[in-house]
């Protein structure tokens, strides 16, 4: 039986990368999906390819009216909303903190945090009325450990994780689950800096991704989509308030390959024993 049969989902940033992979997987598992994205041509092409199970809605997640329109369209078309996957994002402003322009800081936080907040704000009333729902927010390992991304991006992703945890406490009594997924280094247009360009360019850069985590293969969008499928499905009805890290072990600790040279020369310190001193 399809995992998401009868369910309706909205996926922001759904036209490429993780969002596209999730849209394809959700539809394959029986869901109806609103692909919400700024990339009109790509989003429309994906929705057309997925057929009657999908539709495209132009959404820039900083714009409240557009986010609300995506929720309204899902409900008007299919009568419900079971999953809100707030996935849209970008790398945001770069550079040392003293050089960050305030307007670029604001734009980064608006996309990464305000966009998640708006998706939750407009999905919750529908889900409360139904008495159920799953909200999935895309965090990052940059939000759980320092030094994994640009400073403002990292702070915003940490806020997304805590917003998700806090909202889960508020919404649990309505059987609405709120979780975040924290990807590691995943081969997406965002990570490869190829947004708006052919996906073949991502493949050209895959060699740079290998060996960055204990599991040496390249992280793929499907790795994150599979976790989103679990969280959207009825298999996770007792899971809420969690930040689920999907990173091949990157944020767990220091890789063995970076430790083993130390252990070649390491000599254990003898424990003092008064009987043999």
Please name every residue paired with 193 in a beta bridge, in sequence order, or none if there are none. Answer: none
The catalytically annotated residue of 7, 16, 153, 180 is: 153
Catalytic annotation, pick one of 157, 168, 185, 233: 157
Whether the CB-CB separation of 213 and 245 falls below 8 Å is answered with no
By three-state DSSP, how is residue 166 classified? helix
d(CA 87, CA 110): 14
C-alpha torsion 22→25→27→33, nearest 10: -10
Is 153 assigned a catalytic role?
yes
Q: Which of 81, 34, 39 is nearest to 56 (CA)?
A: 34
H-helix or E-strand containing 136?
strand 133-138
Q: Catalytic residue among 134, 140, 168, 233, which?
A: 140
Q: Is 180 a catalytic residue?
A: no
Both tokens assigned to 262: 């130390």
**Tokens 């508020």, residue?**
170
Q: Is 157 a catalytic residue?
A: yes
d(CA 194, CA 97) in angstroms, rounded, equals 25
Catalytic residues: 140, 153, 157
């Amino acid at each position: 039986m399809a995992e998401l049969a009868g369910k309706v989902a909205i996926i922001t940033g759904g036209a490429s990368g993780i969002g596209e992979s999730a849209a394809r997987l959700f539809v394959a598992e029986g869901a109806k999906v609103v692909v919400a994205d700024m990339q009109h041509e790509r989003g429309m092409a994906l929705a057309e390819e997925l057929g009657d199970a999908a539709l495209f809605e132009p959404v820039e997640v900083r714009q409240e009216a557009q986010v609300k329109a995506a929720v309204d369209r899902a409900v008007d078309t299919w009568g419900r909303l079971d999953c809100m996957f707030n996935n849209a994002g970008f790398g945001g402003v770069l550079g040392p903190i003293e050089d960050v322009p305030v307007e670029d800081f604001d734009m980064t936080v608006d996309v990464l945090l305000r966009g998640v907040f708006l998706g939750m704000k407009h999905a919750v009333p529908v889900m409360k009325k139904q008495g159920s729902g799953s909200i999935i927010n895309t965090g990052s390992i940059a939000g759980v450990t320092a030094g994994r991304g640009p400073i403002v991006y990292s702070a915003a992703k940490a806020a997304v994780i805590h917003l998700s945890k806090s909202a889960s406490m508020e919404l649990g009594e309505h059987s609405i689950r709120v979780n975040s997924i924290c990807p590691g280094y995943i081969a997406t247009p965002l990570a490869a800096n190829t947004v708006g360009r052919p996906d073949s360019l991502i493949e050209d850069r895959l060699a740079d991704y290998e060996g960055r985590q204990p599991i040496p293969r390249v992280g793929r969008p499907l790795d994150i989509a599979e976790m989103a499928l679990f969280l959207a499905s009825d298999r996770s009805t007792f899971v809420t308030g969690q930040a689920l890290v999907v990173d091949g072990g990157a944020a767990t600790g220091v890789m063995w390959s970076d430790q083993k040279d130390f252990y070649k020369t390491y000599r254990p310190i003898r424990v003092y024993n008064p009987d043999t001193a």
